[in-house]
């Protein structure tokens, strides 16, 4: 085991990533953008998970993260299929980005200070607000996390879950008995068998885990969130123009929802007289000229991928098996945290 | 001719050594370069930092999240040691019985044991482990726990027993009495005085501070008080013992069969019973063939115990993984893991090696 880790570390050493070195000026030749244009497709690093990134019956990738990758492809090529998806495990993702194998990661990576400071990455805008929570059996009558005093809690090894859980227990002066599993399926079977009173992991993960149980209806995700898990795309440092493209493409669906523009009504907005919407849709120049994209890229993104609500409802919302509540992922005007800087 | 072959051999070995050294050097250099690139440094200072994670099963040593990572690793090491020690003893005991039964003249018994051994021996250990863990989850929940005796509860949270607290001095005197008994041959003709004195002292201290028994009771989600044998520990122990004892039974059977038939016949001719023959004639010889293989089996049981992480028992690997994950010191934690397993294995090999040497000095020789 040690040998492979050392070999793995050795394997991802000094090769410099294509286009990781020079600073690109906005609109000019950015190394990542020129590599993407030459290739004719964006390479997007994802992590498989129900609702976020899964291949459908026809082998086409679908999911929340996948749709944001497709938005980048639409902004660049006006074609949601000009994207190559590279699935990574949580361990591989950073070396994949660092080595230039992908142009960005949209795989549920949490922004943390140590990741931002210690490694040579930049985070884009937060496109999903998550937090660690609990999945319990309805029969346990537990309705909030503080009622879990003395409970046995199953967690999966390998993330910060154990740390968050322990911090939560110490802060609230409750005790718990952890059972740390290497494989999520073992934890699911332990919850189903009654060995554990709860499973703790990120909220989106809990929704997925719930669907793995034989009787998902008998289990409920508690509303409490005991940690902050802001999810954002990740790019390499040293290519500011590429970072700006990722920034604004990830913000466009949010802004579109705020303006009430969605996949179905987008075409009608071509005749709008509202100056701010005209600027946002590229009907009047100026808002995103510096990115070096098609002036009407936002319109294309909305038509071909959708606004934030379209993307959320299609992949994660109540109509899907995951049934995740918008929660913090509502617009700031609806009491959520989604807030796009203005396009002007 | 011979010289040339020697020289060629030396050259080849030198080449092999050189290549190995080059690979090791390359790995070490690459590691240090990539560590430097990421601004990481090697060091064991993190062992003193607070752990910030909780451990489910703790034996002997108490643990809270505010304790150091080093202490967490020791707790994990004790868990591994507990499983290994109990596992080795039980696996050898069960393996011995199964091996002897395989040689029974009763065909039904022989066949049954053979069936069991073959099933266990040809099933992957991980599968056996997951199967046993899942079976233990089928036990009733704590509120409907089976309680065969007052204070004893069996549920899907494990086997809960009353906690017995014994005075410290009682334990010390009992241990001294045992040591004195073990050394009785070195204590001269009045050897019984020392153990008897220790036993008397133990009795007096037990009267002065009588052992207290505290039974567990159900409170909220779980039992409070008492001692809990967790289902993970039980499943891990059962899987390791089953798996290794199946292998050991084959070793035992082979070793017994290796004893020349003439010795058994001779014992029969002297009028010894089957049991006497086995105990006095066959076993002393067979043991000598067995011991090195028993050592190997124990070592592989210790290494297999690292599968604990699959079912959630906090052994040393599980805790080192968590520690490495949270602190980013994965190379250091892997080095600790290597040292731990290497020393445990060498320790067992050395102990059984000494026992083997002792057998060789005293036992009879196979002719």
Residues of B in contact with A1 (CB under 8 A): 334, 337
The tens digit of pLDDT for each residue in B248-304 reads 999 999 999 999 989 889 998 999 888 888 888 888 888 888 888 998 999 999 999
A177 is a domain residue: yes
Q: Would you say A196 and A153 are in contact if contact means Cβ atoms under 8 Å apart?
A: yes
User: In angstroms, rounded to a whole number, what is the distance separating the alpha carbons of residues B344 and B84?
Assistant: 9
User: E strands within B91-249?
Assistant: 153-155, 158-161, 163-165, 212-214, 217-219, 222-224, 227-229
Question: How many percent of chain A have pLDDT more than 70?
Answer: 90
pLDDT above 50 for A301 = yes
Contact of B43 with chain A, judged by CB distance below 8 Å, is answered with no
User: In angstroms, rounded to a whole number, what is the distance separating the alpha carbons of residues B82 and B295?
Assistant: 17
A18 is a domain residue: no
Q: Would you say A245 and A86 are in contact if contact means Cβ atoms under 8 Å apart?
A: no
Q: Residue A299 belongs to a domain with what CATH number?
A: 3.40.190.10
Of A227, A246, A280, the last residue of a domain is: A227
Contact of A160 with chain B, judged by CB distance below 8 Å, is answered with yes
A243 is a domain residue: yes
Mean pLDDT of chain B: 86
Q: Report A:191-230 residues touching B (Cβ under 8 A).
A: 192-195, 197
Beta-ladder partners of A83: A42
Band (pLDDT 50/70/90 cuts) for residue A118 is low
Min distance A164 CA to chain B CA atoms (Å): 9
Min distance A88 CA to chain B CA atoms (Å): 18
Range of the domain at A157: 132-227
User: In angstroms, rounded to a whole number, what is the distance separating the alpha carbons of residues B216 and B229?
Assistant: 13
| Contact check, Cβ <8 Å, A162/B322 | yes
A340 is a domain residue: no
Domain shared by A163 and A287, yes or no: no
Domain shared by A217 and A246, yes or no: no
Residues of B in contact with A195 (CB under 8 A): 136-137, 156-157, 231
Closest CA to B243 of B131, B101, B120: B120
- Closest CB to A181: pick one of B136, B231, B312: B312
Size of interface A-B (CB pairs under 8 A): 128
A309 is a domain residue: yes
| Contact check, Cβ <8 Å, A193/B331 | no
Q: Is A4 left (phi over 0), alpha (psi -120 to 50) or beta?
A: alpha
Domains and CATH numbers, chain B: 69-139+233-362 (1.10.3720.10), 143-229 (no CATH)
A88 is a domain residue: yes
Domain shared by A244 and A115, yes or no: yes
Question: How many percent of chain B have pLDDT more than 70?
Answer: 97
Q: Write out the DSSP string of B282-306.
A: IHHHHHHHHHHHHHHHHHHHHHHGG
pLDDT value at position A24? 37
Number of neighbouring beta carbons within 10 Å of residue A239 = 25
- Closest CB to B156: pick one of A10, A182, A193: A193
Q: What does the pLDDT average to over A154-166?
A: 84
A339 is a domain residue: no
Min distance A72 CA to chain B CA atoms (Å): 29
User: E strands within A124-222?
Assistant: 128-130, 132-137, 151-156, 176-181, 198-202, 219-221
The tens digit of pLDDT for each residue in B208-222 reads 887 777 777 777 777
Domain shared by A302 and A237, yes or no: yes
pLDDT value at position A12? 40
Contact of B322 with chain A, judged by CB distance below 8 Å, is answered with yes
Cβ-in-10-Å burial (0-12, 13-18, 19+) of A209 comes to buried
Nearest chain B residue to A150 by CA: give it: B221
Q: Would you say A68 and A31 are in contact if contact means Cβ atoms under 8 Å apart?
A: no
Beta-ladder partners of A242: none
pLDDT value at position A263? 94
Q: What does the pLDDT average to over A144-151?
A: 90
pLDDT above 50 for A5 = no
Domain shared by A123 and A28, yes or no: yes
pLDDT above 60 for A26 = no
Domain tally, chain A:
2
Q: Would you say A302 and A262 are in contact if contact means Cβ atoms under 8 Å apart?
A: yes
Domain shared by A119 and A37, yes or no: yes
Q: Report B:70-99 residues touching A (Cβ under 8 A).
A: none
pLDDT value at position A29? 56
Of A178, A195, A227, the last residue of a domain is: A227
The tens digit of pLDDT for each residue in B15-33 reads 999 999 999 999 988 888 8
Query: Highest mean pLDDT range out of A155-164, A177-186, A332-341, B101-110?
Result: A332-341
Mean pLDDT of chain A: 87
Domain shared by A206 and A285, yes or no: no
Helix%, strand%, coil% for chain B, nearest 5: 70, 5, 25
Contact of B220 with chain A, judged by CB distance below 8 Å, is answered with yes
Domain shared by A193 and A281, yes or no: no
Domain shared by A240 and A312, yes or no: yes
Contact of B27 with chain A, judged by CB distance below 8 Å, is answered with yes
Domain shared by A178 and A320, yes or no: no
Domain shared by A148 and A107, yes or no: no
Number of neighbouring beta carbons within 10 Å of residue A118 = 13
The tens digit of pLDDT for each residue in A104-113 reads 999 988 898 8
| Contact check, Cβ <8 Å, A150/B37 | no
| Contact check, Cβ <8 Å, B309/A165 | no
The tens digit of pLDDT for each residue in A197-217 reads 999 998 888 988 998 899 999
- Closest CB to B134: pick one of A2, A158, A189: A189
Cα B362 from chain centre: 27
Contact of B67 with chain A, judged by CB distance below 8 Å, is answered with no
Of A193, A211, A227, the last residue of a domain is: A227
Q: What does the pLDDT average to over A323-335?
A: 92
Q: Give the pairing type, strands A42-46 and A83-87.
A: parallel
| Contact check, Cβ <8 Å, B26/A148 | no
The tens digit of pLDDT for each residue in B328-338 reads 777 888 899 99
Domain shared by A239 and A125, yes or no: yes
Whether complex ipTM tops 0.85? no
User: In angstroms, rounded to a whole number, what is the distance separating the alpha carbons of residues B288 and B360?
Assistant: 7
Query: Highest mean pLDDT range out of A5-14, A28-37, A227-236, B171-180?
Result: A227-236
User: In angstroms, rounded to a whole number, what is the distance separating the alpha carbons of residues B224 and B216?
Assistant: 5
A201 is a domain residue: yes
């Amino acid at each position: 085991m040690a040998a492979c880790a050392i070999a793995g570390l050795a394997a991802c050493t000094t090769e410099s990533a294509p286009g990781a070195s020079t600073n690109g000026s906005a609109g000019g030749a950015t190394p990542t953008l020129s590599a993407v244009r030459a290739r004719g497709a964006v390479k997007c690093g994802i992590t498989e998970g129900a609702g976020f990134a899964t291949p459908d019956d026809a082998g086409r990738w679908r999911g929340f993260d996948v749709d944001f990758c497709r938005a980048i492809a639409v902004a660049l090529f006006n074609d949601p299929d000009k994207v190559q998806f590279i699935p990574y495990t949580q361990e591989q993702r950073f070396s994949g980005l660092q080595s230039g194998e992908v142009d960005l990661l949209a795989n549920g990576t949490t922004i943390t200070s140590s990741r931002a400071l210690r490694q040579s990455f930049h985070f884009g805008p937060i496109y999903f607000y998550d937090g660690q929570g609990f999945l319990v059996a309805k029969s346990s009558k537990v309705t909030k996390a503080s009622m879990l005093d003395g409970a046995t809690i199953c967690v999966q090894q390998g993330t910060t879950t154990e740390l968050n859980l322990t911090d939560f227990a110490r802060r609230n002066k409750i005790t718990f008995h952890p059972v740390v599993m290497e494989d999520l399926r073992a934890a699911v079977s332990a919850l189903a068998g009654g060995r554990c009173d709860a499973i703790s992991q990120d909220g989106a993960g809990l929704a997925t885990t719930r669907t793995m149980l034989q009787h998902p209806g008998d289990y409920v995700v508690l509303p409490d969130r005991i940690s902050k898990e802001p999810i954002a795309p990740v790019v390499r440092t040293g290519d500011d123009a590429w970072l700006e493209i990722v920034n604004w493409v990830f913000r466009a669906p949010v802004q579109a929802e705020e303006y009430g523009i969605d996949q179905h009504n987008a075409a009608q907005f071509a005749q709008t007289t509202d100056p701010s919407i005209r600027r946002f849709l590229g009907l009047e120049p100026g808002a995103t000229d510096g990115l070096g994209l098609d002036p009407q890229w936002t319109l294309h993104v909305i038509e071909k991928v959708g606004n934030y609500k379209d993307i959320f409802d299609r992949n994660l919302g109540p109509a899907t098996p995951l049934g995740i509540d918008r929660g913090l992922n509502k617009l700031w005007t609806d009491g959520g945290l989604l807030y796009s800087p203005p396009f002007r | 001719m011979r010289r040339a072959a020697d020289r060629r051999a030396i050259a080849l070995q030198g080449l092999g050594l050189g290549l190995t050294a080059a690979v090791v050097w390359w790995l070490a250099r690459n590691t240090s370069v990539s560590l430097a690139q990421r601004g990481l440094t090697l060091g064991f200072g993190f062992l003193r930092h607070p752990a910030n994670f909780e451990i489910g099963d703790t034996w002997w040593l108490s643990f809270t999240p505010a304790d150091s990572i080093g202490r967490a690793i020791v707790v994990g090491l004790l868990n591994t040691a507990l499983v290994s020690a109990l596992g080795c003893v039980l696996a050898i005991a069960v393996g011995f019985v199964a091996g002897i039964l395989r040689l029974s003249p009763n065909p039904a018994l022989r066949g049954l044991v053979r069936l069991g051994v073959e099933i266990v021996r040809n099933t992957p250990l991980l599968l056996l482990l997951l199967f046993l863990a899942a079976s233990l989850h089928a036990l009733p929940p704590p509120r409907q726990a089976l309680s065969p005796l007052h204070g004893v509860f069996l549920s899907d949270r494990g086997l809960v027993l009353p906690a017995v607290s014994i005075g410290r001095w009682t334990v010390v005197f009992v241990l001294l009495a045992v040591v004195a008994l073990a050394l009785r041959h070195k204590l001269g003709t009045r050897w019984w005085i020392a153990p008897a004195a220790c036993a008397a002292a133990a009795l007096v201290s037990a009267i002065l501070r009588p052992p207290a028994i505290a039974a567990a009771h159900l409170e909220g989600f779980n039992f409070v008080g008492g001692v809990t044998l967790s289902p993970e520990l039980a499943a891990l122990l059962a899987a390791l013992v089953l798996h290794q004892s199946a292998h050991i039974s084959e070793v035992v059977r082979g070793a017994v069969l290796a004893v020349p038939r003439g010795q058994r016949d001779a014992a029969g001719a002297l009028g010894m019973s089957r049991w006497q023959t086995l105990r006095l004639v066959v076993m002393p010889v067979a043991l000598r063939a067995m011991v090195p293989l028993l050592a190997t089996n124990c070592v592989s049981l210790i290494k297999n115990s690292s599968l604990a992480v699959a079912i959630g028992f906090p052994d040393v690997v599980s805790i080192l993984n968590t520690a490495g994950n949270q602190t980013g010191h994965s190379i250091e934690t892997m080095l600790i893991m290597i040292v731990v397993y290497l020393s445990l294995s060498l320790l067992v090999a050395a102990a059984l090696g000494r026992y083997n040497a002792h057998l060789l000095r005293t036992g009879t020789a196979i002719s």
